[in-house]
Amino acid sequence: MKWVRRLLLVLLVLGMVTTVAPANAAKWQPKPGATFNVPRAGDKQYRIHEQIVGAINHARKGTYIKIAVFSFDRKNIAQALVRAHKRGVRVQVLLNNHQVTPAQKLLHRALGKNRWKKSFAYECSNGCRSHGENLHTKMYLFTHTGSARDVVMTGSANLTKNSAVNQYNDIYIRNNSPAFYRGFNELFGQMRKDKSQGYWSTKIAKGILLQATPYRNFGPKHDPIITMLNQVKCKGAIKGYGTRDHRTIVRVVMHAWNEYRGLYLAQKIRSLFAQGCDVKLMYGFAGESVRNTFATKTPRGYIPVHTTGYDTNEDEFIDLYTHQKELLISGNYGKKRGTKMVVTGSSNWNPEGLKGDEEILSMKLDGAYKQYANNFQFMWANKSHLVKYIPYPSTTDKSALASLQRLFATVQEESIPKRGGPAWEND
């Protein structure tokens, strides 16, 4: 019955269900592919946490759980990790040092802080691979949980209540994938040293690339996202890719899109729209220069732009928003006229997105693209709205168009809900 399933889900997420029948434990495995939560939607808001807690609860004795995450305040997840440790699982947790929550203190007491032990909970010193920045990566690794081995979970989700109830997040899960696990485990090993290092990348498999920052001396001609966007050709997509009229599809959903880096990425996206690409954009927060770029008309008109940022309690701060960091491409890309690609991870489109410990995972996988594209369309239709600072012709008569364009050409922060406040995570 549906109500029984919901009750069990709530108890699992709250940490009140700690054991499962042996037969079920042997068969259980994380749900492969992409999982997306829906904040403020009952049990749907905990979809991602459910997968992580389930994997922790099913981790086998003598195996490893390795987690690297920016924010961690979920005491029930900390308790699940402690229980796993007590039954013989080696639990290793790397955290950022911007805060030490009660959940982190619980891990300290149970696991210790010595990162060279088999189990630990350790806060890196202003980034694990970067210097003076943040550990912002979000990865959850399991050598054996339930019936699955070599499990990787990664995406935009932190282990916070906020990540479930106020944010839209994603997590991509691979089971029984030694190549995926090796790549992420190598990155975890580098981070464990808590030592400044440079840009690193590894080709996990054909069409799958994992990149880790810091990415030094970035700019309009030297940026991992620009490198990808430069391979987009807006026309000539073959059947089954892009649009019916053979244009390449570009979709972006971005938590924070701002400052100098955000500007040149916005300019690049705008140029692709002008060249004929089918472009749609969503964001939680965008800086003034980025919004001005979107509000500048091209010969094709204005880029379709939605915001997921809402001020639901009318305190002038955004409290419901996307935390995803995704780029989707379908169509003529590189040397192939038929490519479907997903880019996800922890990196926002701003300078901070390349300065600290970030991961950028690009996957040329049709199945992953379908899942992410479906989620984008769901959010576009149901969880976002057209921005108000672009005078789209469908909502404005011609006589008012010129004055509206002048009014919104330089959009000030005060004219929209601002980032900040208790629900905003600046990551």
* Whole-number Å distance between alpha carbons of 290 and 252: 14
**Cα–Cα distance, 46 to 13 (Å, whole number):** 7
Q: What is the pLDDT of residue 393?
A: 87
Does position 413 have pLDDT exceeding 80, yes or no?
A: no
Element (H, E) at 78: helix 75-86
Does the pTM surpass 0.85? The reply is yes
Burial of 185 (0-12, 13-18, 19+ CB in 10 A): middle
CATH architecture classification, 208-415: 2-Layer Sandwich (3.30)
Percent of the chain with pLDDT over 70: 88
Mean of the pLDDT values across residues 231-249? 99
Position 419 scores a pLDDT of 77
Fold of the domain built from segment(s) 2-197: Endonuclease; Chain A (3.30.870)
Domain ranges of the chain: 2-197, 208-415
- Condensed to tens digits (0 to 9), the pLDDT of residues 132-155 reads 899 999 999 999 999 999 999 999
Which pair of tokens denotes residue 187?
Answer: 């990155």
Going by pLDDT thresholds of 50, 70 and 90, the confidence category of residue 50 is very high
CA distances to 83, 100, 267, 283, 324 from 354, in Å:
36, 24, 18, 18, 16
Q: Is the model's pLDDT at 11 over the cut of 60? A: no
pLDDT at 422: 73
- pLDDT tens-place string over residues 248-291: 999 999 999 999 999 999 999 999 999 999 999 999 999 999 99
Lowest mean pLDDT among 61-70, 233-242, 322-331, 414-423: 414-423
**Residue 18, pLDDT above cutoff 70:** no
Tokens of 2: 């549906």
Calculate mean pLDDT across residues 110-115. Answer: 98
Instruction: Provide the angle, in degrees to the nearest 10, between the axes of the packed helices 102-111 and 75-86.
Output: 10
Q: Tell me if domain 2-197 and domain 208-415 are identical in fold.
A: yes
Phi and psi torsions of 236, nearest 5°: 95, 15
